[in-house]
Chains A and B, each alone.
Chain A
Amino acid sequence: QVTFKESGPALVKPTQTLTLTCTLSGLSVSTSGMRVTWIRQPPGKALEWLARIDWDDEEFYTTSLRTRLAISKDTSRNQVVLTMTNMDPMDTGTYYCARMNPQPGRLFDLDIWGQGTMVSVSS
C-alpha cells in the first residue's frame, strides 16, 4: 500500500523554526521520476504550494516564501523534510505532502496525498 504520512509539532511559537517530515511507504524517494511537494492550507482557505524536491535532489520553492523554506530528503529513512524559519501566526494551517504524478500523460497532477498535519503558531 502506498502512503504518505506527515509528522511534526502541532504547536510552535512565533519566530521558531518548523520542521515537518513526510514518510513514504510503498514508494522510494529515490525512484527516478519521484517528485514530492509540500502544500499548506490555512483554516478555511485555499491550498498553497510551498516546495518540491525531485529524485535527483533538484529543489523548487514558491517565490514568496523562498527565503524561509528548505526542503531535503533522507534516502535511508525514505523521508522528505521541510523546514520553515521565522514562523508567524499567519503560517497556521494544515501542511500536506503530495506526489506529482509521474505517469506519462498525467502532467503532474497530485495523485498521492498525506492526511495532513495541523500546525498552530501561537505564543
Chain B
Amino acid sequence: SYKLTQPLSVSVALGQTATITCGADNIGNEDVHWYQQKPGQAPVVVIYRNTNRPSGIPERFSGSISGNTATLTIGGAQGSDESVYFCQLWDRSSKHILFGGGTTLTVL
C-alpha cells in the first residue's frame, strides 16, 4: 500500500512558481489527482491523472510525475491560490482511495 508524503507547507512570492510534491515508492506507476481546498469548502480537483487540467481550472496549474514523486506546479501564483492542496490516488490492488497529508500554500 502507498503512503503519500507531502510537505506540510510551501511559500511562494506573488507571481512566482510554486511546486508541491507528493512522494511514494513507485508512485510513477499510478495516476495521481490533485485537489485544492479553501477554508470551509470541499476540495476541488485541479489536476487529474497526473497532468490533466479539468475545464475551468486556470492554465497556471500543471502536474507531472516521475519515479517516486508527483508534482503540482502553479506558475505565476496568485493570492487566490492560497489553499491546502492534497494529492490522491486510487490503489488498484486494494481498491482503496489514498490521500496525502496536505500542503498549505502561502502566497507572499
Instruction: List the interface of chain A (C-beta within 8 A of B).
Output: 37, 39, 45-49, 52, 60, 62-63, 96, 98, 100-101, 105-111, 113-116
Contacts and interface: CB of A to CB of B under 8 A. Distances in A.
Interface residues of B, number: 23
A46 B86 contact: yes
B99 A47 contact: yes
Given A47-B88, A101-B48, 14 more contacts: A46-B102, A47-B35, A47-B102, A48-B99, A49-B96, A49-B98, A106-B48, A107-B49, A109-B45, A109-B48, A109-B49, A110-B45, A110-B88, A111-B54
A106 B48 CA distance: 7
When A and B form their complex, which 5 residue pairs have the shortest distance between CB atoms, in order from nearest? A113-B42, A49-B97, A109-B33, A109-B48, A47-B99
Nearest to B43: A113
Contacts of A52: 97
Contacts of B23: none
A45 to B, nearest CB: 8
Nearest to B4: A46
Contacts of A115: 41-42
Contacts of B33: 109-110
Contact of B95 (A60, A106, A107, A110): A60
A107 B43 contact: no
B101 interface: yes
Interface string B14-35: 0000000000000000010101
Interface in B57-104: 86, 88, 90, 94-102
